[in-house]
A = this chain, B = another copy of it.
Amino acid sequence: MERIPILRMGSFLLVTIQVDMHDRLAMTLQEDLTRKITETGARGVMIDISALEIVDSFIGRMMSHISSMARILDATTVVVGMQPAVAITLVELGLSLKGVHTALSVEKGVRYLEQSATSRGGGRINGRRSR
């Protein structure tokens, strides 16, 4: 079965999207990714879309969904490598990629995730407040 590989790099996960996404593939990716976050305790997810020349509302929504799911599992998501034409199309389509952070390159994405992990603190339970 077709799957998009999820690579572990330290405390982050990297997903490179190269193929046309369809419903089932997107579902599988979301399932694989959430499972992998819990398995590895990853603090961040990078989605590389440098291969995509077109980002439609379906992929836009998928990225928002992944970002929201990851956030619940205490991981930050950053989309890296967006082509200029894709940014133009997204704005023209009125897609704001709500809640999705972006970075120009993987290296900048890693830096963003590291800062984000540091500012959230080291523990996975720092979201809890004592009463």
Contacts and interface: CB of A to CB of B under 8 A. Distances in A.
Tally of this chain's copies: 2
A125 interface: no
A53 B48 CA distance: 22
Contacts of A110: 9
B7 A16 contact: yes
19 contacts: A3-B51, A4-B51, A5-B18, A5-B48, A5-B50, A5-B51, A5-B81, A7-B14, A7-B16, A7-B106, A8-B105, A8-B106, A8-B107, A9-B9, A9-B106, A9-B110, A10-B107, A14-B106, A16-B16
Interface of A: 3-5, 7-10, 14, 16, 18-19, 48, 50-51, 81, 105-107, 110
